[in-house]
Amino acid sequence: MTGATPPVPTNPTALAAAPAAAAAPAAAPKLAGVLWDLDGTVVDSEPAWFAAETALVERHGGAWSGEQAMRLIGSDLTHTAQVLQRAGVRLETKELVNALLEMVAEQVMATRPWRPGVLDALAECRAAGLRSALVSMSWRRFTTAVAGLAPGMFEVVVSGDDVRRGKPDPEAYLLGVAKLGLSRAECVAVEDSPTGVASALAAGLATVAVPNPVMGGAPTEPITPAPGLTILGSTAQITVELLRRVHLETQAAARRTAGICPETSTSRRAAL
């Protein structure tokens, strides 16, 4: 007995539907990870850095200004050491960095200057199943100490001495994403400085920026609006709902830019 030949569909509507279904775009990745900058974002440590830099330079007979300190915010510590050496500090790079870290860590560990709402946001992320990483240009002796003040909140810590190229290079954020075992499309970064924002965006991450007023209440430098960037007025605004919305909007804009959706992508400053 021979098998019956299956009928060939003749309905034009059915024939047209098949290729359309095959061409349907894949679902956008869901938010799974949040990568947090440390200094100025998680803790308000910038005044401690300014005080430590000033003390070192003056100890070696030089002068140090708030303007000079502000230009270093977000930079890796090797670069900071080189600038301080040019300002007159007569210490080798590693010795100089360790001296800075010791002074800053002492003040931060004593005062615990958490940025507004950050601990609540970290706890909410953990309860929602979002995995957090700390991505900082400070060295490990400081980053792990601060992470230890919020036990269980940071699954991964990336420090300045873990990478060859500091922010604004994307290496630190890419390493954080890899250590979380996620893709860039599943993550959002939280930053406070133009240097850090440039690093996160270069890594291809949806980014939330919260400019941190330091030294007299003025932000370090204006953060320029860019695709994939949401600028907030306070870290107290950070919630899981907001992070998910930022992630979703950034993914949608990326898909429009790639031609997956018909709308036109626009660059804007988000007001959330």
Q: Which residues are catalytic?
A: 37, 39
- Residue 187: CA atoms inside 13 Å, Cβ hemisphere, count? 28
What is the C-alpha end-to-end distance of the chain, expressed in Å? 70
Find out whether 176 and 23 touch, Cβ atoms under 8 Å: no
